[in-house]
Every structure is written in structure tokens, then in C-alpha cells.
A and B are shown apart, each in its own frame.
Chain A
Amino acid sequence: MNVMSDWIEIGRIEDIPRQGARVVATPAGNVAIFRTLNDEIFAVRDLCPHKGGPLSQGIVCGKRVACPLHNWVIDLASGDAAPPDEGRTACFPVKLENERLWLQLDRPE
């Protein structure tokens, strides 16, 4: 594991609504940063494995989001689509430190 990888500061947890998401815009496309009801934070590529819908715009329930285009449900921790749908979207490491959110972009899991 590469401990040297860069953590980028992306904002404060209050900037994201509970049961909601905001995006981090990158040259390689948006990364959606989700905040659950219990203040857990997840980062996944803002691209639904089905037809590329923006997951950040979906309804967040538990640790899952329903894609706004055709309602696939994506698990935020693994990026997997809920069966019987099949597909996965990339996840990124995020952490909360001193009230700040940090994201690691170079190592999608």
C-alpha cells in the first residue's frame, strides 16, 4: 500500500446535506461525496454503472443511493449495484479529520 499518496482537502462535512451528496469536479470527471444519516462519508465516481447517471443526484437511504435515471441502487461502501442488477462504480478513500474532509483520488478501490 502506498502511504505516500496525496490526500486532498475538499471541504467541511456541513457543506454536504445529511442523506445527500456534493461532487468534487476533477479532470477525469466528478466524484460524488455522500453523507449518510449517521454522518458516514463515502466517495464514489459520479457515474452509474448502468448508463452513466449522476449518482450524486439520487436519493440516499442507509448506505445506498438510488440512481436518479432508472433507479438502480448502488452500495456506497463497495460501489456494487444491488442484485439482481450487475455492475460496479469505483470508490475512493475519504476521511474526516479535524472537521475537514479529505479525499484520495489516485487510488480508486
Chain B
Amino acid sequence: MKKQRLIVIGNGMAGIRTVEELLKIAPDAYDVTVFGAEPHCNYNRILLSPVLAGEKTLNDIILNDDDWYASNGITLHKGRKVVAIDRRRRLVRTEDGLEAGYDRLLLATGSMPFMLPVPGRDLPGVIGFRDIRDVELMLEASQKYRHAIVIGGGLLGLEAANGLKKRGMAVTVVHLLDTLMERQLDKPAADLLKRALEDSGLDFRMEAQTKAILGHDRVTGVRFKDGSETPADLVVMAVGIRPNVDLAKSAGIHCERGILVNDTLQTFDPRIYAVGECVQHRKQLFGLVAPLFEQAKVCANHLAEYGIARYEGSVTSTKLKVTGIDLFSAGEFQGGNGYEELLFQDPARGIYKKLVVESNRIKGAVLYGDTGDGAWYFQLMRDGTDISAFRENVLFGQAHLGDAGHGADNRAALMPDTAEVCGCNGVCKKTIVDAIVQKKLFTLDDVRTHTKASASCGSCTGLVEQILQSTLGSDYSVSPAKKPLCKCTDHTHEEVREAIRAENLKTIPEVMRFLDWKTVDGCHSCRPALNYYLLCQWPNEYRDDPQSRFINERAHANIQKDGTYSVVPRIWGGVTNPKELRAIADVAEKFEIPTVKITGGQRIDLLGVPKQQLPAVWAELGKHGLVSGHAYGKSLRTVKTCVGKEWCRFGTQDSTKMGIDLEKMTWGSWTPAKVKMAVSGCPRNCAEATIKDFGVVAVDSGWELHVGGNGGVKVRATDFLCKVDTEEEVKEYCGAYMQLYREEARYLERTAHWIERVGLAYVQERIVSNPESRRALYERFLESQKSAQIDPWAVLAKESERQHFEPLRKVG
């Protein structure tokens, strides 16, 4: 079949990103031809500011070189501007008369600096700040001349001013209003910024309106509305941008301020798509790359004829790329009408933080001087997390929630190159920075695949994001507001679960078919998730798919680094007896098990068992009543207890029995991630209940229930859920909590992260304040436990099952 022809007009960031996304999913769908008015390959426009400031070279910012186009079979016409589109004959024509035909057309013409309509605006020496040409002109001017005026105190204007100053010019920034960067900053933050920039040597003329640009052969100065004049040899206009719509308009494609597109990035002509700053989507125009990259992804999906993705707008955040200035802004940063504002100010240290809050949800943020928590606030904002549980500390940052742990308050920029960033994979800062620069990485995901940093336990994610930002000089890493389950689909966890429920989907292949999975049988990320979601939705009915489980859950033992396994029998509530201990000792001797270890979870681990031996070991343990401890599963692990009232002189309740009861009730249950519990007999809390997923602390008058703790990668102390009186209530609340977590958390999300995402208030509302909801959850939990509480070891130790543990054949 003859390939379709795709023409891309605009060789810039959005257009080429779309082509890249398309090549990823449908590399052979099109013959691609790209027209670019600029005489360059696609480069990183964002980094023009650091180039101007002398921190980067033009070479550093090339994103796709000639080889890239060639090796992907793309025809590139550099320096050729398209001046006409003939939609009837489906071809485009360039200024120099070249014609080319298309089956699909992609408009990615970006935007142009808006030039104020004042006399003199066409004089030599008056320029915008948009492309390499502008930077070259500025550099030239900085060598010959002394005085520069930048009109516009927004992001672009300040970056231009900073660059020109660094190149030795005396720079005055002229701004119409009294607030710099008024679209990102409130007055107090803007004042701090202005002071810092003044200290660095910039001059400002605030609330000044430009009336005319003076000069004959070249600009010589600027006249303001009040009649005053300031001399200038260079004027940079940075008062805004205008989408490039002339070409589209002249071809009769419907435009307002931008080219109108729908949620699939299609224009009014179904063969023509548009992405980037030239578009207008749901009344919105664009000026930052993060949303453009999201558009690129959706558009590629439709060009590839998958037809499932939608672009529904983006939430963006901004940073200013002026070295030494630390500033972050996102969302409804102004506050006012009906919003609440949380403020932190430390003028001496030049720090200002404002969070705009509505109904305990963050709606916007402005940070100045200390932006380490910007990414976290942004996440809370996009997730709509209820912050009431930690509202009093939220301004102090994420590191202040929970006590210890290596939080995210490290300052990436200050780290030495040799500092280890990822402790799991031994990746140091320099490796990450080099990979970002050399391999042109933009996203956290890219950095993970290339360097393995933050790919394991994830505790250094925040730090890697910061390195990404400080290296790229911008906030690219914002993961899309809608995070797909994995690379095999564009659907989120929630959408997948909803489809399973609403469409009555009962098997993994059914789910994949219904949701148009991009791969035949998924990947190692989505298959276990789907298996879990189906099992949770259809308890007692779904037939588990062992091939979609990680080996530990398939073999019911933990795989070790040498390929052998470990065996951890259940020790109910940490209480054992001579008979059990003897049985374990006998097994260890009989099978010559190399290591016997007391675990951190109050039980005993037999390490180094070869796979073939597992069934025999289990059978032997089973004879003495020992069953699987699920030390390997996304399931209930241990319930730690202390000795409690029976022995301890401080004990207030029988914490040991309570722990055993909880373990008997919850064992065997599959959960999104592992679940650990503990019951302490008094507030001395010897069972460490306050770092467990569900912790119970006995007090004289009853039981305190605590949720969402984690003692692992990042320590998080539990949140206090409520207090109850009876043992029966402890069980009911525990079961309801388990079920809520099972039904609503994302696969692999532990309770700590889940609660941080949905907010404690939500959990309390479902479990504490609403008894009906609690009882319904509890009943569903007990129902699903009916078929879950079968000891897998007993099943697999049967002769008929043993072949799965044996080699197919032995030779030699």
C-alpha cells in the first residue's frame, strides 16, 4: 500500500514533537515532509535565554540535527516559508514556488512577538525575542552599542534584559503596570523579584507607556506618554505574542485569535491538524511548552489513526530562567474573591510563599526564593488533594510531613557532580546531567529509562525532577495532568477501573480489546495491574491469571539475587510456640537451608531455597499447621504486636489478641500494594503502629486507629483516623479501610501515597462519619475474603502441581 503523505508546516518545538510521537507509535504510516521558515534544524527555543546570557551555545540547544531527519526518512525544507495552502487540490506552496501534495497536513506555525503599534517600530535595532536570528541581532548590538531598552516586564522581557546585561549592556526594562510578571506573580513576590534584579544591575521604569520609538537610520531612543525620553541603541519588544494564523486564515481555515482546534487537535478541515502556539483550544491560547507536548501526543495518536486520545487542556506552572533567581508560579495565584491564602514571608532571607486554597484544596501557588516544593504543590493542586490533615505544615514543605526520611528538600543545583542521587542504582548527578544534555531528555520518564535514576524505589524522584529542571532551565518535567496506566494505553488507572465495572469486563484480553490497548498482550506494568483490578472488582468469580503476576506472587516465595527463594511462614501476630519453632528448625535442617533469619516483621525467614524444593518445604511446614506468610505479595503482610495487657505492666488492652484477630481476618487479601499492620498495647507503642498502613494503639478507654503510615523509603507517620471503643469496631473499621483502599487506590500505590493523594478527610468521610458507607465496605471486604483465604502453599504443594517447579527436562 502506498504511504500517506503528511506535511508539517513549522519546524519548531510542537511540530517536531508531534512527528516524534508519531514515529514512536506508527513509524511507517506516513511519508513526512517538514517546511520550516527558519534556516535551522529544530532547536530548543526555551534555551535561547541561556544562549543570550552566554550560559549555553547554539550548538547545545539543537534538538534534532540533520541526521535525525535523514535517518527517519523525513524530507526537511529548511529556510522555506509556506505561503499558500490549496485545500481543494491538497497541496502547499512555498515562497520560492515549490509545491508539495498532502493527505494530512499539520500546522505548527507557532507565534510571533507582538510589536507595539507606535511610530518607529520598523526602525533597525527594534526587534522581538523569538528565534535564533533575534539572538544574533542582540549579540551583535551588544558588541557595538551600550544602551538597551526592553519593553515588557514579563517572563520573556526579563530573560532578554538579563541576557543583554550579562553581555555588557546597560539595560532598562519598561513596564506598563506596577507589577512585574503580573501574569505569574502577585505584588509581594514581584517586588522581591524587582529588588533582586535591581541589585543585579537592571534599571526599571514602571507604569510607563511607550509612545514612540525615536531615530532615523537606527533607533536612538524611546519617548514615553509623559513626554520623557530615554536613549537606546537597541529596543527589544517583549509585550506579548500573537499566534501565527495568517497562512491558515488565507486558506479559509476557521481562526479566531488562534487556529481553532477540537479535543483531537483537528481544525475545521478534517485533513488538517494544528498544534502549538498557533492554536486556540477551548478559548485558550498557549505560551509554554508543557501543554504543547501534551497536544503533540494526542495529535500523533489521531494521525496514527488510533483515535482514542483527547486533549482537554493543561494546568501549567512557570519558572524564570534567570540564574540566581528562584521563582515558581502556578494556577490561580492571585487569590482574592472567595479564596483563602496561606502565606509565609521571610524578607531577610528573601523568601515568600503563597498558597491559594479553596475548600482545603490548593488552587494556585507563588513561591519566591525557595521553590524546592513547587513540584509537590503542583502535584497536590492537579490531584485536587484535600490538605486539611497537614494544612498547618503545608507551607514548610513536604520534608516537614512525617518526621525523618530523606525528603525532597535537597537543592539539586547546589549538589556537586559526584553526589549520588539514586542510592538504589548508584547514579550520580553528573551521569544524569550528561544524559539529559547529550541524549536530549525532557521528561522524568526519559531520565529513568536512560540512567535508571529514580527507577527503583523512587525516593529520589523529586531530586531528579529538580536536576531536570535546573539542567533544562525550565519546567518541562510536569507530567501530564492525566497519567496513563502505562505506555500500552492512554487511559488512567481510574478510567480502566471504571471501564471494567461499567462494561462488565471480566478478563485481561477483554479489557485490552475494549480499551484499544496498543500492545498485543500488555507489558509487565499493566498486566499485573489489570489482574488485580479484575480480581478486586469480581471477587469469587475472576479467575486469577498467574502469568500476569510478578514471579514472587506466582511462586508464592520471594526471589533472591541468586535465583533461589525465601520462605516466610505466617506467625500470627508474632506469637509462636515450641512446636512451630521445632518444625521450622527441622525443615531448615532437613533441606539444608543456608540462612535462617528473624525478619523485621516478627517472623522467621528461610533463605536460599531452590525453586524445585519449594513444594516439599511447604508440605513439611504445612504438616505442622504453618501456612504462607505472603511475604512476597501485594497483600497483607504482617500484623506486628506487642505483649500488651497480658504481661506488660503498662498494657491497657490485649493487643496481642487484637493483632491476631486482625491478621486472621485480613490474611490472603490482595491489595494494590503491600499492607502492614501493628497493634500496640499502650501509647508507648512498642509495635511501631504509627508507621504502619493500619496501626492500632490501645488506650485505657478503647482503641486509637491510625492510617497511612510507612516505615520504608520515606518515613511517614500515620494520620489519626478516629478512636473506637470495642474490638468488634476495630475489625469493622479495619475491614472497611482495607476495602476502600482496595477499591480506590492505584495499583502499586501504598496507603501512605494514596492518602496523601485523596486526603485524610476523604477517608474519614467514607469510614468514620458515614456508618452506612463503612458497613457496606466492610461487608464487601468480608465477601471477597471468602475465596481469598486459601493457603496457596497447601495448594501448590500437591503432587499434581509440582511440575510447575520442576525443569521441563534435564539433559547431560
Within 8 A of A (CB), among B510-560: 519-524, 527-528, 546-551, 554-555, 559
Given contacts A23-B808, A24-B811, contact A58 B561 (CB under 8 A): no
- The reply to whether B551 and A20 form a contact with Cβ atoms under 8 Å apart is no
Bound-complex Cα distance A58 to B456 (A): 17
Bound-complex Cα distance A61 to B518 (A): 12
Complex interface: chain A residues within 8 A of B88 (CB): none
- The reply to whether B559 and A69 form a contact with Cβ atoms under 8 Å apart is yes
Closest to B803 in A: A15
- The reply to whether A60 and B547 form a contact with Cβ atoms under 8 Å apart is yes
Q: How many A-B residue pairs have CB under 8 A?
A: 86
- The reply to whether B811 and A8 form a contact with Cβ atoms under 8 Å apart is yes
Given contacts A54-B563, A61-B521, A61-B527, contact A68 B807 (CB under 8 A): no
Complex interface: chain B residues within 8 A of A62 (CB): 519-521
8 tightest A-B contacts by CB? A66-B524, A22-B808, A19-B547, A59-B524, A57-B551, A25-B807, A27-B812, A68-B551
When the two chains form the complex, which single residue of A18, A23, A61 contacts B524, counting CB atoms closer than 8 Å? A61
Closest to B424 in A: A70
- The reply to whether B521 and A19 form a contact with Cβ atoms under 8 Å apart is yes
Q: Could you list 6 A-B pairs, sorted by A, with CB under 8 Å?
A: A16-B808, A58-B551, A60-B547, A62-B520, A68-B559, A84-B450
Q: Does A87 contact B (CB under 8 A)?
A: no
Q: Does B89 contact A (CB under 8 A)?
A: no
A-facing mask of B783-811, CB < 8 A → 1, else 0? 00000000000000000000110011111
Complex interface: chain A residues within 8 A of B559 (CB): 54, 57, 68-69
Q: Does A33 contact B (CB under 8 A)?
A: yes
Q: Does A96 contact B (CB under 8 A)?
A: no
Complex interface: chain A residues within 8 A of B812 (CB): 26-28
Bound-complex Cα distance A17 to B544 (A): 14
Bound-complex Cα distance A103 to B809 (A): 11
- The reply to whether B550 and A59 form a contact with Cβ atoms under 8 Å apart is yes
- The reply to whether B563 and A10 form a contact with Cβ atoms under 8 Å apart is no
When the two chains form the complex, which single residue of B456, B547, B555 contacts A59, counting CB atoms closer than 8 Å? B547
How far does the Cβ of A42 sit from chain B's closest Cβ, in whole Å? 14
When the two chains form the complex, which single residue of A24, A26, A38, A69 contacts B561, counting CB atoms closer than 8 Å? A69
Bound-complex Cα distance A20 to B549 (A): 11
Q: Does B599 contact A (CB under 8 A)?
A: no
Q: Does A37 contact B (CB under 8 A)?
A: yes
- The reply to whether B808 and A24 form a contact with Cβ atoms under 8 Å apart is yes
Complex interface: chain A residues within 8 A of B770 (CB): none
- The reply to whether A22 and B547 form a contact with Cβ atoms under 8 Å apart is no
Complex interface: chain A residues within 8 A of B547 (CB): 17-20, 59-60
When the two chains form the complex, which single residue of B523, B551, B561, B810 contacts A25, counting CB atoms closer than 8 Å? B810
Q: Could you list which residues of chain A lie within 8 angstroms of chain B, going by C-beta atoms?
A: 8, 10-11, 15-20, 22-28, 30, 33, 37-38, 51-54, 57-62, 66, 68-71, 73, 84, 105
- The reply to whether A23 and B807 form a contact with Cβ atoms under 8 Å apart is yes
Could you list 15 further interchain pairs (A-B, Cβ under 8 angstroms) beyond the known A10-B808, A10-B811, A59-B524? A11-B808, A25-B807, A25-B811, A27-B811, A27-B812, A52-B563, A58-B524, A60-B547, A61-B520, A61-B527, A62-B520, A68-B559, A70-B456, A73-B524, A84-B450
When the two chains form the complex, which single residue of A18, A24, A60, A84 contacts B807, counting CB atoms closer than 8 Å? A24
Q: Does B418 contact A (CB under 8 A)?
A: no
Complex interface: chain A residues within 8 A of B528 (CB): 59
Bound-complex Cα distance A94 to B165 (A): 69
Complex interface: chain A residues within 8 A of B555 (CB): 57
Within 8 A of A (CB), among B470-501: none
Closest to B450 in A: A84
How far does the Cβ of A53 sit from chain B's closest Cβ, in whole Å? 7
Residue picked from B547, B549, B561, B810, most chain A C-beta under 10 Å = B547
Bound-complex Cα distance A66 to B549 (A): 12
- The reply to whether A33 and B808 form a contact with Cβ atoms under 8 Å apart is yes
Bound-complex Cα distance A70 to B448 (A): 13
Complex interface: chain B residues within 8 A of A30 (CB): 807
Complex interface: chain B residues within 8 A of A60 (CB): 547
When the two chains form the complex, which single residue of A10, A20, A54 contacts B809, counting CB atoms closer than 8 Å? A10
- The reply to whether A26 and B563 form a contact with Cβ atoms under 8 Å apart is no
How far does the Cβ of B127 sit from chain A's closest Cβ, in whole Å? 41
When the two chains form the complex, which single residue of A27, A51, A61 contacts B523, counting CB atoms closer than 8 Å? A61
- The reply to whether A68 and B521 form a contact with Cβ atoms under 8 Å apart is no
- The reply to whether A84 and B524 form a contact with Cβ atoms under 8 Å apart is no
Complex interface: chain A residues within 8 A of B228 (CB): none
Complex interface: chain B residues within 8 A of A53 (CB): 563
How far does the Cβ of B657 sit from chain A's closest Cβ, in whole Å? 38
- The reply to whether B809 and A11 form a contact with Cβ atoms under 8 Å apart is yes
Q: Does B337 contact A (CB under 8 A)?
A: no
Given contacts A37-B520, A51-B561, A84-B450, contact A59 B527 (CB under 8 A): yes
Within 8 A of A (CB), among B72-106: none
- The reply to whether A37 and B807 form a contact with Cβ atoms under 8 Å apart is no
How far does the Cβ of B510 sit from chain A's closest Cβ, in whole Å? 14
When the two chains form the complex, which single residue of B450, B521, B524 contacts A71, counting CB atoms closer than 8 Å? B524
Complex interface: chain B residues within 8 A of A69 (CB): 559, 561
- The reply to whether A61 and B522 form a contact with Cβ atoms under 8 Å apart is yes
Bound-complex Cα distance A15 to B805 (A): 12
Complex interface: chain B residues within 8 A of A10 (CB): 808-809, 811
Bound-complex Cα distance A15 to B808 (A): 7
Q: Does B59 contact A (CB under 8 A)?
A: no
Q: Does B577 contact A (CB under 8 A)?
A: no
How far does the Cβ of A15 sit from chain B's closest Cβ, in whole Å? 6
Q: Does B449 contact A (CB under 8 A)?
A: yes
Bound-complex Cα distance A10 to B811 (A): 9
Complex interface: chain A residues within 8 A of B527 (CB): 59, 61
Complex interface: chain B residues within 8 A of A57 (CB): 551, 554-555, 559, 563
Complex interface: chain A residues within 8 A of B548 (CB): 19, 59
Bound-complex Cα distance A69 to B561 (A): 7
Bound-complex Cα distance A23 to B548 (A): 19
Bound-complex Cα distance A57 to B810 (A): 18
Complex interface: chain B residues within 8 A of A52 (CB): 563
How far does the Cβ of B103 sit from chain A's closest Cβ, in whole Å? 30
- The reply to whether B811 and A105 form a contact with Cβ atoms under 8 Å apart is yes
Closest to B439 in A: A84
How far does the Cβ of B502 sit from chain A's closest Cβ, in whole Å? 26
Closest to B526 in A: A61
Bound-complex Cα distance A69 to B565 (A): 12
Bound-complex Cα distance A61 to B519 (A): 9
Bound-complex Cα distance A60 to B524 (A): 7
- The reply to whether B811 and A26 form a contact with Cβ atoms under 8 Å apart is yes
Bound-complex Cα distance A1 to B520 (A): 35
